[in-house]
Chain A
Amino acid sequence: MNFDPLNAVLIGVILLLAVGFYGLLITRNLIKIVLVLQVLVKAVVIALVLAGKDSGNLGLGQSIAATVIVADTIVAVVALALAVQVRIRVGTLDLSKISSLRG
């Protein structure tokens, strides 16, 4: 089996995804959740560039990746602001303790 650099990137993407999903499964702290989501989204960004390279539309992949980065930054900012508000109003960042909105 000859070595293809694209494969190495793909393996990296999968590893990042695995780390992100594992983090989502076990994390209960809201701030950490935002961090874990960032890891997941970075994996997606790399995957987008990779897919663009692989299919010959490198420009398309890169532009979508840039869009995702912008959107994701906004998500992170809003999520962190929410986390601060939750901490102020509820007094904790533990997810299992703030599920009072459950219907």
Chain B
Amino acid sequence: MTAILIGFVIGIPWLGALILWRTSDENPRLQHTLAVAFSIAAGFASLALIFFSSAETAVDIPMGAFFGSLTFTPDGLAVALTAIACVIGSLAVVFSVDYMKGEAQLSRYYTFVLLFIGAMAGLVLSGSLLFMFFFWEITALCSYALISFYNDDPKAVAGGIKALIITQVGGVGLLSGALITYATLGTYQISALLENAGTIPANLLAFVAFGFLIAAAAKSAQFPFHTWLPDAMEAPTPISALIHAATMVNAGVYLLARFYPAFVQVPGWALSVTVVGLVSALITAFMALTATDLKRALAYSTVSQLGYMIYAIGVGGFFASQFHLLSHAVFKALLFLSAGAVIHATGTRDMRRMGGLGKQMPFVRNVFILGALALAGLPILNGFWSKELILEVGLADGPIWAYVGMLLGAGMTAFYTLRMTWLVFFGEARDSSLHVHDAGSAMKTSLGLLAVGTLTTWLLAGPFGGMLHATLPFHSMYELSTLELVEEIFSAPATYIALMVVCLGLGIFWMIKKQAAAGKEARFDILSRESFGFDWLNRQVTSIIFKFATALQETQTGKLNWNVFGILGALLAVLVFLLWSA
């Protein structure tokens, strides 16, 4: 049964991708219907899989001596992330029915969306490092294809290539870690690595640990790789929601959470993770303060929230990080999709041109406010509980300077969230040329479901923690019911400190909202638009690679005689080397 369900959550989206790939773009109605049907089927399969979570390997297919076995392990961590990917992914697909209406090349769009969802499920369920890498690269490919979906727009193509190059850097880290594991332990199985991490020589284990940290940082757009995610905003908005909430960026956090027990013994690793999370959370929160592009502001906030999760793993709050991942997936999907509804209605992403939209689209305004309050961390929405849990763990177990930094980040989050909401939905209309219409019914369906999720998913904290506790033998964590969690959060002083900081952030915005809303912070504007110089650094790396490739092109003369000359030269060199060493 478990094996069949695992086959379903990966197979149904991939089968759908295969079928949609062959459909004709002349019949968009069929394409929408098929995509929604397949993604919702996968969503239900993933929800059913939750009830079959166990630490046992459910699927074990031998793939020969070199590749090891293709195994799938439905433990708590894996099934939770699968459910997030499939359920939120299917809501993004439902949303697309309205958002992508009338777009050309829907076949390409839905094919990659479904391939993406299936690959994400495979990535988290895989029990073998090598096949995890395989799924990891498929998600990178899909993100590239979807970010560059509008492939006649040079900015979209550049954003896609940037995402591809940066995540490939991370892929190298993951692959080398997997190969070192194979070289030392003789297997690719994740459980073997978690069990026998102590037997790997310390320097090699450190190499694996930091390789995985690089992989996670690149995938989750953490410092210093945080520049690709804002550029990925050129994608259609449901794709942004998919990448930011359901798939892709969660993979990095998942990777660190999965291997935390193995790597925590590496000196300096946990501290590095903490610092990566802290720096990412702070600088991107800062950039979100001045962003004028609605989607970019949301993208910065994603990096910032992912920073919170990475920080939580660094200080040992394994459950807190996964709980925040769950909350974040729900409320960020809600925010992105309502932003998509706004962008669809107004035709612009510039917040300076919006304003006063709340009157024309009350439903979208209400759910956006709900998501914004969850992002800011106000009770009783799901973002509040998970963020408080992270800050509490950070205060108890982490360095105090990191805690202060994260607290500051929470204040900034409240500030920019209120700024976003205010600029878009309140005040007077700044641009009368916008023709606004309310969201369609498919949009409202997925927004409504996500809004309900934002209000209620924190109630699942107890069962979620219990499931993780029961099925992850190598992660040490204590079990709490939801009620105990609520009591603990309300009795901890950290909660009140954080709430005060959040209110401070909201209050500061309220006082200076005239200046802040106008987008006039020219002094910080340039600094944050260039990502504190990291954007420049990334551009340089990319341009050097391109120049190197162009220079190498000269060696491809296309003349047979030269190629034979090269072959003979290489043959001679090998012969000389063999004779030399003999």
- Minimum Cβ distance to chain B for residue A56 (Å): 23
Contact status A25-B561, CB under 8 Å:
yes
Contact status A95-B560, CB under 8 Å:
yes
Contact status B564-A24, CB under 8 Å:
yes
Contact status B564-A25, CB under 8 Å:
yes
B558 contacts chain A at the CB level, 8 A cutoff: yes
B515 contacts chain A at the CB level, 8 A cutoff: no
Flag A7-32 by CB within 8 Å of B: 1 or 0 each: 00000000000000100111110000
Residues of chain A in range 58-99 having any CB-CB distance to chain B below 8 Å: 95-96, 99
With the chains together, A55 CA to B561 CA distance in Å? 35
With the chains together, A56 CA to B560 CA distance in Å? 38
With the chains together, A33 CA to B564 CA distance in Å? 12
B residues in contact with A103, CB < 8 Å: 556
Chain A residue at minimal CB-CB distance from B560: A95
Chain B residue at minimal CB-CB distance from A98: B558
- Minimum Cβ distance to chain B for residue A99 (Å): 4
Contact status A21-B561, CB under 8 Å:
no
Q: Give the number of A-B contacts (CB < 8 Å).
A: 25
B527 contacts chain A at the CB level, 8 A cutoff: no
Contact status A102-B561, CB under 8 Å:
no
With the chains together, A68 CA to B573 CA distance in Å? 27
Chain A residue at minimal CB-CB distance from B553: A103
- Minimum Cβ distance to chain A for residue B556 (Å): 7
Contact status A24-B557, CB under 8 Å:
no
A residues in contact with B557, CB < 8 Å: 99, 102
A1 contacts chain B at the CB level, 8 A cutoff: no
With the chains together, A28 CA to B556 CA distance in Å? 17
Chain B residue at minimal CB-CB distance from A96: B559
B401 contacts chain A at the CB level, 8 A cutoff: no
With the chains together, A103 CA to B559 CA distance in Å? 12
B568 contacts chain A at the CB level, 8 A cutoff: yes
- Classify chain B's interface size: under 10
- Minimum Cβ distance to chain A for residue B468 (Å): 52
Flag B557-582 by CB within 8 Å of A: 1 or 0 each: 11111001100100000000000000
Flag B510-541 by CB within 8 Å of A: 1 or 0 each: 00000000000000000000000000000000
Residue from B559, B564, B568 in contact with A99 in the complex, judged by beta carbons closer than 8 Å: B559
Contact status B560-A24, CB under 8 Å:
yes
A residues in contact with B564, CB < 8 Å: 21, 24-25
Contact status B558-A102, CB under 8 Å:
yes
- Minimum Cβ distance to chain B for residue A24 (Å): 4
- Minimum Cβ distance to chain A for residue B379 (Å): 60
Chain B residue at minimal CB-CB distance from A28: B561
Residue from A21, A28, A33, A99 in contact with B558 in the complex, judged by beta carbons closer than 8 Å: A99
With the chains together, A34 CA to B118 CA distance in Å? 48
With the chains together, A102 CA to B555 CA distance in Å? 11
B residues in contact with A24, CB < 8 Å: 560-561, 564
A residues in contact with B559, CB < 8 Å: 95-96, 99
B residues in contact with A102, CB < 8 Å: 556-558
With the chains together, A99 CA to B556 CA distance in Å? 11
With the chains together, A102 CA to B558 CA distance in Å? 6
Residue from A21, A33, A101 in contact with B560 in the complex, judged by beta carbons closer than 8 Å: A33
Contact status B568-A21, CB under 8 Å:
yes
- Minimum Cβ distance to chain A for residue B409 (Å): 48
A residues in contact with B561, CB < 8 Å: 24-28, 95
With the chains together, A95 CA to B557 CA distance in Å? 12
B residues in contact with A95, CB < 8 Å: 559-561
A residues in contact with B556, CB < 8 Å: 102-103
- Minimum Cβ distance to chain A for residue B162 (Å): 23
A residues in contact with B565, CB < 8 Å: 25
B residues in contact with A26, CB < 8 Å: 561
With the chains together, A88 CA to B104 CA distance in Å? 41
- Minimum Cβ distance to chain A for residue B534 (Å): 33
- Minimum Cβ distance to chain B for residue A41 (Å): 15
Chain B residue at minimal CB-CB distance from A103: B556
B residues in contact with A27, CB < 8 Å: 561
With the chains together, A73 CA to B559 CA distance in Å? 24
- Minimum Cβ distance to chain A for residue B550 (Å): 12
- Minimum Cβ distance to chain A for residue B567 (Å): 9
With the chains together, A25 CA to B559 CA distance in Å? 10
- Minimum Cβ distance to chain A for residue B282 (Å): 45
With the chains together, A28 CA to B564 CA distance in Å? 12
With the chains together, A28 CA to B562 CA distance in Å? 11
With the chains together, A25 CA to B571 CA distance in Å? 14
With the chains together, A24 CA to B568 CA distance in Å? 10
Chain B residue at minimal CB-CB distance from A21: B568
A residues in contact with B558, CB < 8 Å: 99, 101-102
- Minimum Cβ distance to chain A for residue B569 (Å): 11
With the chains together, A24 CA to B561 CA distance in Å? 6
Taking beta carbons and an 8 Å cutoff, which residues of A are in contact with B?
21, 24-28, 33, 95-96, 99, 101-103
Q: Can you list 25 pairs linking A and B with CB atoms under 8 Å apart?
A: A21-B564, A21-B568, A24-B560, A24-B561, A24-B564, A25-B561, A25-B564, A25-B565, A25-B568, A26-B561, A27-B561, A28-B561, A33-B560, A95-B559, A95-B560, A95-B561, A96-B559, A99-B557, A99-B558, A99-B559, A101-B558, A102-B556, A102-B557, A102-B558, A103-B556
Q: A99-B558, A102-B557 are in contact. List 11 more A-B contacts (CB 8 A).
A: A21-B568, A24-B560, A25-B561, A25-B564, A26-B561, A27-B561, A28-B561, A33-B560, A95-B560, A95-B561, A102-B558
Closest 6 CB pairs of A and B: A102-B558, A99-B558, A24-B564, A95-B560, A25-B564, A25-B561
